[in-house]
Amino acid sequence: MLDGGLRPGSLHEIFPRGWNAGGFAVLLALLTTGKKPLFWIRPDYEAQEYGAVSPNGFLELGGDPRHLFQVATRNAADALSAANDILACPHVGAILLEVEGMPKCLDLVASRRLALAAGESGVTIFLLRPGAQVEPSAALTRWQVMSAPSRTNDDDWGNPVFDTHLIRHRLGGLGNFLMQWNPEHARFETADIGAVVRTPAHRPAFEPPRQRRA
């Protein structure tokens, strides 16, 4: 499921509910970045509220910490401008921009700029927005995510499971998906509850994004 990550060169928004759901955005970024560098941008207060990035945790999820770079900024505006800088470099694999709440600088215009820059360089950017409400944006897909209990029968806990709701998709259908992350093979699996809809998120064909209009 979601093999190869989401469509390259686009902007995706993830609205997590609960403490762990943000991991879904990290995993999407990990999936997309491949062997290229992954830049995780976050204002300082994110670390105070949600904890500092632990490279070991990243490793445990199947990522390679050597490809992980962190940009710690003073505020959301700096984070946004760092993201625009990094987006311009086509040799970057993916960007994870974690911005809490609803800062003024992160408006529709800013998201259009990000989407446009992503389309030009082919770098995929994930906007992780804890504590934010959904608002209009230029994102290609928008996800609302909660963590779900382990899919194991006994008391042991299994691999991370996410209850994801694809609430906006410019090019395809919406749906709810229960996804389990497999760290060994670094991929999402449909959790064994059967009724999972075919994923519409991944479209191998690359369309120039400027044909779309926000």
Partner 1 sequence: MISHKANNALYVYALEARAQKLGLYKGQPLANARAMVQPLQIMPADEGADAALLEAIADWCDRFTPLVSLDAPDGLLLDITGAAHLFGGETAMLKMVTSKIAKQGFAVQGAIAGTSLAARALARFAPGTIAAPGGETETVAPLPITALTVDDKILRALRHAGLKTVGMVAERLHSELSERLGKVFVNRLRVMLGAEEQPLQPRRPLPDLMAEQRFAEPVVTEEIISASLLSLAETLSEILERQGRGARMLEAGFFRADGKVARIVIKTGEPLRDPRIMLRLLRQKLDALADPLDPGFGFDLIRLEALLAEETKSGTVSFDGDENARQQVRFLIDRLSVRFGEHRVQRFVAQDTHIPEATGVAVPAQERDFEGAWILKRRADDPPQRPLRLLEKPEEIKAGLPLAPDGPPKYFLWRQCRHDVARAEGPERIAMEWWRKQELTRDYFRVETKEGQRFWLYRDGLYKKEGLAHRWYLQGIFA
Quick check: 188 binds partner 1 (CB under 8 A)? Answer: no
Helices (H), 88-174: 108-121
Quick check: 101 binds partner 1 (CB under 8 A)? Answer: no
Tell me if 180 sits within 8 A of 23, measured CB to CB: no
Quick check: 190 binds partner 1 (CB under 8 A)? Answer: no
Q: What is d(CA 50, CA 93) in angstroms, rounded to the nearest whole number?
A: 24
Stretch that binds partner 1, among 3-11, 58-66, 99-107, 186-194 (CB under 8 A): 58-66
Stretch that binds partner 1, among 6-14, 110-118, 129-137, 160-168 (CB under 8 A): 160-168
Kindly report the number of other CB atoms within 10 A of residue 114's CB atom.
Answer: 24
Quick check: 71 binds partner 1 (CB under 8 A)? Answer: yes
Question: Radius of gyration over alpha carbons of the chain, in Å?
Answer: 16
Quick check: 73 binds partner 1 (CB under 8 A)? Answer: yes
Closest by CA to 1, choosing from 195, 187, 196, is 187
Q: Can you tell me which of 3, 4, 19, 207 binds partner 1, judged by CB under 8 A? A: 19
Quick check: 121 binds partner 1 (CB under 8 A)? Answer: no
Residue 77: C-alpha distances to residues 13, 51, 110, 152, 182 (Å):
17, 20, 10, 42, 35
Stretch that binds partner 1, among 4-12, 103-111, 154-162, 188-196 (CB under 8 A): 154-162
Quick check: 70 binds partner 1 (CB under 8 A)? Answer: yes
Residue 159: C-alpha distances to residues 62, 84, 187, 188 (Å):
12, 34, 11, 10
Q: Can you tell me which of 3, 85, 135, 207 binds partner 1, judged by CB under 8 A? A: 85
Nearer CB in complex with partner 1: 192/213: 192
Q: Decide the pairing of beta strands 11-17 and 141-148.
A: parallel
Binding site for partner 1 (CB under 8 A): 18-20, 22-24, 26-27, 36-37, 47-48, 50-61, 64-66, 68-73, 78, 82, 85-86, 89-92, 146-150, 152, 155-161, 163, 181, 183-184
